Amino acid sequence: MTNFLFYTCFYGAMVLYYKRVTFMAYFLKKTNNKKGTYLQIYSSFYDPERRHTAHKAYKPIGYVHELQAKGIDDPISFYKEEVIRLNQEANAAKAAKKAKQISDDSPEKLIGYFPMKNINDKLSVKKYIDLMQTATDFRFNVFDMISALVYARLVQPCSKSKTYDEVIPKLFESYDFSLNQLYDGLEYIGCEYEKIIEIYNHQIQQMYQFDTSHTYFDCTNFYFEIDREDDFRKKGPSKENRKEPIVGLGLLLDANQIPIGMKLFPGNQSEKPVIRNIIDDLKKRNSVSGRTIQIADKGLNCAENIFHALKNGDGYIFSKSVKMLPETEKTWVLLPNNYRDVKNAAGETLYRIKECVDEFEYKFTESETGSLKKFRITEKRIVTFNPKLAKKQIYEINKEVEKARLLKASQAKKSEYGDSAKYVIFTAADKKGNDTDGKVKVTMNEELIQKSLELAGYNMLVTSEISMKDKDVYNAYHNLWRIEESFRIMKSQLDARPVYLQKQDTIVGHFLICYLAVLLTRLLQFKILKNGYSSEELFEFVRDFRVAKISDRKYINLSHGTSFIRELSELCSLPLTSYFLNEGDIKKMLSHRF
């Protein structure tokens, strides 16, 4: 027993030494009992949880006398030599590990995309895209390429080459395709983007169902940093007042703000026909039947779009500029009678609202035949007055008017007026109307200034839904901000512009990736999380949630603790808040099903 205590103390001290050097040591344990002296090799190591040295059996040897009978003259000395050899090997392994150079592969893994991956896998679109791929000779999986690009766009948007070199390798799963194959695949999905959206829509309809009782539609455009136009990238009215060629994108959402379609068109084309084309195409492709109410802003409000909606048995809610109304309608807008206040819970007036139902005449030149068409329709017109909006618009009007007065006083050129030019009347400097030196006679348009100030804060909505309550029409229209948010997500969060790709189909493939990223994010936001979190909170999680590899199967969580992470962890029963994670934890996240 005395020998055992001695060896325990000796090897305990030895372990403290090895804790600094190797963190593990071996020793020969001798146990004396009635049968004789029994030998075992034990390993000693530092247990960080208990914060002291621990021992465990490494190798049983046998009784001394039995070993001597087998030909080992001095078993204790013999196995002490083995213990020395084991310790030398352990030291050598530790030294080799210390000498190992840093890896070319980053230990960081980006896994914040896992909720979108869960939804993407649940939709089971892979089998259909795999079937599409059978018509090609690609030696890589198109669905895997789409998935990798969507997840990379969500966690760290950048150029395609940088995405391939720096972002995709940081995704937890490995993907097997080359950069050239990526560009080939992007061109292919751009060519087939309508089919791919149709596949997603079919599966979403099975899993979650679209609500097409209301559909929201709007357009935006994206610029390209190129000098010359081509057949697709054309110069036109840019939303950001840029001079480069642009491509237009129309986006359609269902009543729950889930994207159900997109359409790309050359930047010099009018947006107004796009709403007709995309709704017709989506209804046909996705077997959308029944009446839908199309909701869009005043930029898409035209007689032909209204006629087209009615012809298809659909309804509409459009906004209408009060400044462009006939004088009789402007007079009705400004009459104070019949307005009622809509207040918040604190009793503060949010806006004032009134309505009328009447018959209105429309006429337009049909785009296909060129013939003039006239029709009359009973519509509801709803006008609202927003005090906060009025204050903002009056400030902006006065600012432009003041700018125009100062420019007038300084005899500035017409080209210097910019947006303030609408509040002045320009008259040619000489009697012949020639303007040789760029200077013209300027008169303030006091009538327009006064009318603009009077109409500040007023908005009008036009709808076919005469039985729909005015407040419901107002609320339905004001959900249109969600489509503007989707465009903002594409442009800002997903960094969809500027676009450096050249081929039309490759460009379309790029926007399809952005569209699918928005689609999966919206499904998570509205269908899984029930609109309990903003898109900013979702993207903060997606970008921040990452881990670093510290050993073969061990990781540490590098994410910041947030209420969203804690609540998502509880909802999914996943260890999202744990500091130490193993490979099984991460695979569980990536294979989770909502």
Cβ count within 10 A of residue 415? 8
Let me know how many helices (H) and strands (E) the chain has, helices first: 20, 18
Residue 446's pLDDT band (cuts 50, 70, 90): very high
- Taking each helix axis from N to C end, the angle separating 142-155 and 504-522, rounded to the nearest 10 degrees, works out to 70
Polymer length of the chain = 594
* Structure confidence at residue 483 (pLDDT): 84
In this prediction, residues 289-295 reach a mean pLDDT of 81
Q: Distance (Å, rounded) from C-alpha 356 to C-alpha 66?
A: 109
pLDDT at 1: 46
Question: What element of type H or E holds 116?
Answer: helix 114-122
Indicate whether 81 pLDDT > 50. Answer: yes
Kindly tell me if the per-residue pLDDT of 329 is higher than 70.
Answer: yes
Q: Is 435 exposed, middle or buried (0-12, 13-18, 19+ CB in 10 A)?
A: middle
Which residues lie closer than 8 Å to 536 by C-beta, 6 or more apart?
none
How far is Cα 181 from Cα 140, in angstroms, rounded to an integer?
8
Asked if 289 and 435 touch (Cβ cutoff 8 Å), the reply is no
Residue 262 CB-density burial (10 A; 0-12 exposed, 13-18 middle, 19+ buried):
buried
CA distances from 357 to 280, 332, 338, 351, 380 (A): 29, 13, 13, 20, 4
pLDDT for 7 beyond 50: no
Query: Considering Cα of 521, then 527, then 531, then 532, what sign does the dihedral take?
Result: negative
Which one is predicted more confidently, 501 or 487?
487
Structure-token pair, residue 62: 């046998």
Phi, psi of 55 (to 5 degrees): -125, 150
HSE (side-chain half, CA atoms, 13 Å) at 61:
26
Q: According to the model, what pLDDT value does residue 555 have?
A: 95
Average pLDDT over residues 210-218: 86
Residue with tokens 């939303």: 239
Distance CA 428, CA 443 (A): 11
> Using CA atoms, how far apart are residues 268 and 408, in angstroms rounded to an integer?
34
Please tell me the distance from the alpha carbon of residue 110 to that of residue 389, in angstroms, as a whole number.
43
pLDDT tens-digit readout, 93-136: 777 766 656 566 678 999 999 999 999 999 999 999 999 999 99
Supply the pTM of this predicted model: 0.74
Q: How confident is the model at residue 288 (pLDDT cuts 50, 70, 90)?
A: low
